[in-house]
Structure formats: structure tokens, C-alpha cells
Structure 1
Amino acid sequence: MKYVSVDDADAPADIAEFLRSARVVIFRSNLTDTRSLIAHLEREGIGYREITMGMGSGVERDRFHRLRDWTDWPLLPQVFVDGAFVGGAEEALESITDAR
């Protein structure tokens, strides 16, 4: 994992657009279990957006590959808080809890 942010010059434009749409942005697949993270965000009243990347779509596979290459994180979910990559669901829970 490397630190990346929406403000990076090499941020993919379509991904950066998503990152500006909510405080927490979660990139997931149709099979990704984000229930614990979503429940926590809703309990805390934190705005979030889920972006589902269906791997059956060539466009979404391409987007996932660009996201993976940018973050150096091989799996979904990939979670961004305030435009910065924090990791997966567990890392996001820690990051959000620490930010309080």
C-alpha cells in the first residue's frame, strides 16, 4: 500500500471524481462484504459512497486495474477517507475511529 490522494497529479481522473463525492468512498465488487464498515459509518453519521466495480464489465475491470496500480493494493474493497487512501475495510475502521 502506498499513500495516494485525490490531489495527486497521477490520480486517475474518473477515480478522483468519485473521491470528491463523499467523505468516505468505498470501491467494492459485487462480492465484497462491506456491511461492518457501512454499519459503522451509518452509526457515526459519516457520509459515504460505494462504487461497485462489476468485474463482468470491461470498463469496470479497467477501472479496477488503474485503481490497483495507483494504490498498490491488490484487493477490494479499497477505501478512501477525505480523499486519501487508507486501505481496506479494517484499515478504514481504524482510520475513522482514530480521526475522532
Structure 2
Amino acid sequence: MSDINARLDEIVNSNDVTLFMKGTALFPQCGFSSRAVAILDHLGVAFETVDVLQDSEIRQGIKDYSDWPTIPQLYVKGEFVGGSDIMMEMFEAGELQALLEEKQVAKA
């Protein structure tokens, strides 16, 4: 396993919910990242963010790690869920809330 994959494993598995995004939760740097943060905030779950703009190795590495070409990327209990479009679809269908409850994700 490469060093970047080991780093990403550590990040993804050290939090119940991890959002790889452009910017921070308080200052998202793109509309998709902003929407992803808004969804998680609305659901009231505790989550960590990783600003991919601060580390080019993570920015490219996360795309290879998940085999998903875009940012943001959401992980719940170590499992890749998807990007902001998938998050929005799941949220609107009630599936994201159900997943978070099923995985017993801590509230914020």
C-alpha cells in the first residue's frame, strides 16, 4: 500500500463521518462542497473535513482511493458514500438519514 493510501485509510477510519472537500466547513471553496456541508449540518451529525486544496497529494490520492473523479467525497464509518449529487439524492429520498442512523453516527 502506498504512503498516501495509508494516510487516507487513517483519515477515513479515524472519524465516523469524513468529508473531503475544497475549503473548510466554515469557508467552502466551491458550491458542491458548500452543499455537502449544508446537508451534513442540517442532519446534525458530527463530521470532520479535509481541505484537499491544502495538500495536492491528498487531492489526487483521494480520487484514486475511492475511484471517484470529483470532490467533495463523503465517507461514513470508513465506507465511501459518494459526492454532493449522490448526497443530495440520498438526502431527498431519506436514505442518507437512514444510513447515518444505521451506522449509529454521533450527533453534533
Q: TM-score, normalised by structure 2?
A: 0.65
Pick the structure with more helix per residue: 2
Task: Work out whether 1:68 is the aligned partner of 2:63.
Answer: yes
Unmatched 5+ stretches in structure 1: 1-8
Which residue among 86, 91, 95 is the counterpart of 2:81?
A: 86
Q: TM-score, normalised by structure 1?
A: 0.69
Q: CA deviation at 1:36?
A: 3.1
Show the counterpart of 1:27: 20
Q: CA deviation at 1:79?
A: 1.0
Q: What CA distance in whole angstroms lies between the structure 1 residues aligned with 2:38 and 2:11?
A: 21
8 A Cα contact 2:21 2:52, kept in partner:
yes
Q: Relative to 1, partners in 2 of residues 1:62 and 1:92: Cα closer, same or farther, differing over 3 Å? A: same
Show the counterpart of 1:40: 39
8 A Cα contact 1:32 1:77, kept in partner:
no
Report SS of the residue matched to 1:12: helix
Moved segments of 4+, more than 3 Å: none
Report SS of the residue matched to 2:70: coil
- Residues 7-18 of structure 1: pairs in structure 2 closer than 5 A: 12-18=5-11
8 A Cα contact 2:18 2:75, kept in partner:
yes
Report SS of the residue matched to 2:36: helix
Q: What CA distance in whole angstroms lies between the structure 2 residues aligned with 1:49 and 1:92?
A: 16
Q: For the aligned residues, what is the CA RMSD?
A: 2.4
Give, as a single letter, the amino acid of the residue that structure 2 aligns with 1:67.
Answer: I
Percent same amino acid among aligned pairs? 23
